[in-house]
Structure 1
Amino acid sequence: MNIASYLASRGGTATAADLRLAGLSRHRISAAVADGTIVRIRRGQYGLPLDPSAYRAACEVTGLLTCLSAAPDYALWTLMPAQSLHLSVGHRTPPPGSIAHGRCRHPRHPWLPVAGLADVLIHALHCLPELESLVMVQCAVGRGDISLDFLRGKLDGNRNGRARAVLDLVIPRADSLLEVLANTAFCRAGLHVRRHVEIPGVGEVDFLIEDFLVVETDGESHLAPQQVKKDRGRNNASVVAGYLVLRFGYDLVVHHPERMLAQVLAVLELWRGGGFHP
């Protein structure tokens, strides 16, 4: 086995024990260090030379990536990538510019220097703004990777009230982060919202508001020519069935939800005033 390839397959770092389990002897490990193929990060931990990854940074301080920095390792939805390293380092001093989190209390990732999913989400709920932590939790819960009851059980007491409030925003099903963000905005505006409603001749729509306004949230896949054609047909079928339709893309839903909500409210006001009646 090529030792450099093995390290690359495991995020660029591995312990001496893992290397030996992969069939690499102490002699081969020492020889690879001697010829510069790999480097010894610290006692019992090896990596690739000139590796700038977050994994390497975590290993250098005997820490674990967590919160937003660990989201990619669990394929969690995020609104933006981590700008700083989020690390769990116990009682050790974190590197300058990083964000320190508390101890990890659940099993870690099996081979990467990454906290376990439970700790990643709990740290996110304590650290990130409401909607940023919400989409991470929604993704994990929606896939069945973790349960809301489990997370609530770990977040008792007054100091966890804010985190539990985020859990209350998780919905049974969201096919994209756009859906959970839009749902939060609509419900907080006091609107009557139904999700994933099946309309004859149209199919399933993302939202039906006040039982007459269809709202669709369009991610990047909706920009494909074939999908654009399909969406136009669904729009027309919705109008023929007696519904009004609004569609919102990523930019409005994520960066300007107030504009999205203003358009929805404007249509509702026109409808209530007879604007769409003969």
Structure 2
Amino acid sequence: MAALRARGGVALRRDLLKAGVGAWQLRTAARRDRVVVPYRGVLALADAPREFGAAYKHGGVLTCISAAPHYGLWQLNPANELHLVCGNGIPRDGVVLHRSASLPPMPGRPVAALADVLVHALRCRPTEESLVMVQCAVIRGDTTVDFLRKRLPGNRNGRARDVLDFVCPKADSLLEPLAAMHFKQAGIAFVQHVELPGVGEVDFVVERFLIVELDGKTHFEPRAIKRDRRRNNTSVAGGFTVLRYFYEDVVHHPEAMVAEVQAAIRAHRSGLRLNK
């Protein structure tokens, strides 16, 4: 039991034997329902991650979005398929195979090294999904954009390198890099993390007149609501227009968010022309 727990709850039978667990102990534990045998040659605790057993079954290690939860990385969507690095590259039903890993896997777990996980995600997943994973790792100090960029050489990795351009050095949530990405793709000019007198730091200032703020869970606390409304008032009194967006807007309805920002820009420019 201790040997299994040290390996994340799942291990190959041969690895347990090498670690000094006796064959009779394995048989006894299985008979007493203390461990299960999900696949031939694989033993697991009842509450162990199922994907670990599947990785051992296929002779591979988890990577890409299948490995994201085991590194505590941000995710927009759970993995519907198993993403693995396997030695021989033979196709397997229900498995997305990735190129060979460049670094040793996580010790004691069938999980690829973090750098390989991120590189595979950048090559495999839509921009939004890979961006939030990389953003999380970067702000935690687990890796750097330059480190990942060096592992993505050549023309075939051009799209993956482009995703790295959207990583925000100071972003503390997945909302900021996603919003910045959508604004850049729409050709909206902005500056991030701007300190305004009497207001404090705001998420975005667009064309010097429009403040765009992104509200996560903490903004719904009573004190935060009062603070944000006072900041809005101060901003408007200072000549700014303010738009606020939530998780659903940025993640699920980015087109509507972008269209609203563009409409505000057009209205502002129209007003300037009329004043002239």
Aligned to 1:58: 55
Pairing 1:134–2:134 present: no
Aligned to 1:87: 84
Gaps of 5+ in 1: none
* Distance (Å, rounded) in 1 between the aligned partners of 2:36 and 2:100: 28
Letter in 2 for 1:243: F
Aligned to 1:47: 44
Pairing 1:228–2:225 present: yes
Aligned to 2:215: 218
Pairing 1:114–2:111 present: yes
Aligned to 1:101: 98
CA 1:203 to 1:266, structure 2 compared with 1: closer, same or farther past 3 Å? same
Which one of the candidate residues 28, 33, 41 is aligned to 1:31?
28
SS of residue matched to 1:195: strand
CA contact 1:61–1:94 (8 Å) conserved in 2: no
Q: Percent identity?
A: 51
TM superposition shift of 1:253: 0.9
TM superposition shift of 1:92: 5.1
TM superposition shift of 1:39: 3.5
* Distance (Å, rounded) in 1 between the aligned partners of 2:18 and 2:226: 53
CA contact 1:105–1:119 (8 Å) conserved in 2: yes
Aligned to 2:147: 150
Letter in 1 for 2:127: E
CA 1:115 to 1:52, structure 2 compared with 1: closer, same or farther past 3 Å? closer
TM superposition shift of 1:173: 2.1
Query: Deviation string for 1:34-61 (max 9, x for gaps)?
Result: 4332245444x42125867211211222
Query: Deviation string for 1:57-113 (max 9, x for gaps)?
Result: 112222111101111111112211111111112215454222111212212112221
SS of residue matched to 2:195: strand
CA contact 2:30–2:36 (8 Å) conserved in 1: yes
Letter in 2 for 1:163: A
* Distance (Å, rounded) in 2 between the aligned partners of 1:21 and 1:173: 46
CA contact 2:4–2:11 (8 Å) conserved in 1: yes
Aligned to 2:257: 260
TM superposition shift of 1:197: 1.1
Letter in 1 for 2:238: A
TM superposition shift of 1:18: 7.2
CA 1:276 to 1:84, structure 2 compared with 1: closer, same or farther past 3 Å? farther
* Distance (Å, rounded) in 2 between the aligned partners of 1:53 and 1:63: 14
Pairing 1:270–2:267 present: yes
Which moves more between the two structures, 121-130 or 138-147?
A: 138-147
Which one of the candidate residues 169, 172, 176 is aligned to 2:169?
172
TM superposition shift of 1:114: 0.9
* Distance (Å, rounded) in 1 between the aligned partners of 2:46 and 2:176: 42
Q: How many residues align?
A: 274
Q: TM-score w.r.t. structure 2 length?
A: 0.88
TM superposition shift of 1:28: 3.1
CA contact 2:8–2:48 (8 Å) conserved in 1: no
Letter in 1 for 2:161: R
CA 1:94 to 1:38, structure 2 compared with 1: closer, same or farther past 3 Å? farther
Q: TM-score w.r.t. structure 1 length?
A: 0.87
Letter in 2 for 1:139: C
* Distance (Å, rounded) in 1 between the aligned partners of 2:49 and 2:203: 41
CA contact 2:122–2:163 (8 Å) conserved in 1: yes
Which one of the candidate residues 134, 149, 161 is aligned to 2:158?
161
TM superposition shift of 1:256: 1.5
SS of residue matched to 1:248: strand
* Distance (Å, rounded) in 2 between the aligned partners of 1:104 and 1:93: 16
Pairing 1:74–2:58 present: no
